[in-house]
Structure formats: structure tokens, C-alpha cells
Amino acid sequence: MTLALRTADVPAAAVVASAVEDLTLKLAMRRMSGGVSVITAGRGNDRTGATVTSATALSVEPPTMIVNINRTSSSYPIIRANGHFCVNILSGEHQHIADRFAGKGGLKGVERYDGAEWTTLASGAPVLLGALAAIDCEVEELIERHSHGIIIGRVVSIIAGDGHSLVYNNGQYGRFLAQL
């Protein structure tokens, strides 16, 4: 298989892979903007979470979410053990929270929760107060494929707010602003 990837300043012929490689796929996927969420799980001092752009609704009937978490992430075993997670959709004002849950500054586990207000809903997963939306889920199914766990969650409660979402594109955060 031959893969050609065109970048803005490099002709397609200059970036060719003879086989699809991890970094080639990662480079291609960075071109797609994605909404930024923090996936949270656990209770008390056993809380952790991760910043992702891979959370989406799987179905509205019944209300179901899907997230993909690297199996080496500290969040993966906590989600498995607790059977819950919350998709906290971040606003443009939450970049500092996205950074914390991405592990910037070496923060791990419960340390990532400092600097923000949290509560819980039906599942017991941590919920960010002031998030654009918080979608509280109980794990319905966990599918292990390659490096990641595909986690399907039944939505048990939702809080929705107002604002503009934080987006991620090509290694940078930004905000979507409506046209005037």
C-alpha cells in the first residue's frame, strides 16, 4: 500500500510512506480539528482523567457515548475498575484544564483536579462544574483493539451549559467563533 500525504507547504510526492506507520496516521489525523473533552473517572484519591478529541455520541436511541482511551493511560484501568466515566466538553476558557489532564507539568492522577470545581452525578464519575456539557456514563461495553480500549457508555445524566467549544488542530488549541 502506498500512502501520499499532502501538507500545506510540501508537495504530495515529498511525503510518501511505503506502509502506513503510526506517525504517518498521527500526522494525518492532526489535520482534522476536534472538540476537546476531559474524560474523568474514579472516586476520592483514586481519580484520574485524560484530555481527548476522540469522544462522540454513538447513538441517541438509546443515549450512548463512545471514547477511545490508550490502554497504557492511567485512566484506562480506573474506568474499567469503576465502570463509569464522564465526558466533560471544554470551552475556550478551559485550556488550562485540558493541559492539566494532558499531563503537562508532570501532573498525574488526582493532582489534575486542582484548580477547578468538581461534583458528581448519577454514575459517581467526576464532573467539571462550568463545562460546556458534562455527559455522565456507565460503561456498557469495553472492546480492546490494538493499543486502545473502545469504551461504550450508556448516558445516565447530562448537564449542558453555554459558550464556545475548545478545539484542537495540528498541535494547537483554538476556539470556534460563529460568523457575524
- pLDDT at residue 29, rounded to an integer: 82
Pick the more confident residue, 4 or 119: 119
Domains, the chain: 1-31 (no CATH), 34-175 (2.30.110.10)
In sequence order, what are the residues at sequence separation of 6 or more whose Cβ sits closer than 8 angstroms to the Cβ of residue 176? 164, 165, 167
- pLDDT at residue 165, rounded to an integer: 93
In sequence order, what are the residues at sequence separation of 6 or more whose Cβ sits closer than 8 angstroms to the Cβ of residue 121? 86, 127, 134, 136, 156, 157, 159
In sequence order, what are the residues at sequence separation of 6 or more whose Cβ sits closer than 8 angstroms to the Cβ of residue 84? 41, 123, 124, 125, 136, 137, 138, 139, 153
Pick the more confident residue, 58 or 24: 58
Residue 6, SS3 per DSSP: coil
Among 3-12, 93-102, 110-119, which stretch is predicted with the lowest mean pLDDT? 3-12
What mean pLDDT comes out for the span 132-149? 97
Residue 42: is its pLDDT beyond 90?
yes
- pLDDT at residue 6, rounded to an integer: 42
Residue pair 94/129 in contact (Cβ under 8 Å)? The answer is no
74/82 Cα distance (integer angstroms): 13
- pLDDT at residue 9, rounded to an integer: 53
Residue 122: is its pLDDT beyond 90?
yes
Residue 12: is its pLDDT beyond 70?
no
DSSP state of 12: G
Q: Cell 461504550 identifies what position? A: 152
- pLDDT at residue 175, rounded to an integer: 77
Beta strands in 6-146 (DSSP E): 16-17, 34-35, 37-41, 48-52, 55-60, 63-70, 84-89, 118-120, 126-128, 133-145
Residue 58: is its pLDDT beyond 50?
yes
What pTM does this model have? Answer: 0.86
- pLDDT at residue 30, rounded to an integer: 83
Q: Read off the pLDDT band of 180 (50, 70, 90).
A: low
Q: Three cell numbers at 101?
A: 489532564
- pLDDT at residue 16, rounded to an integer: 53
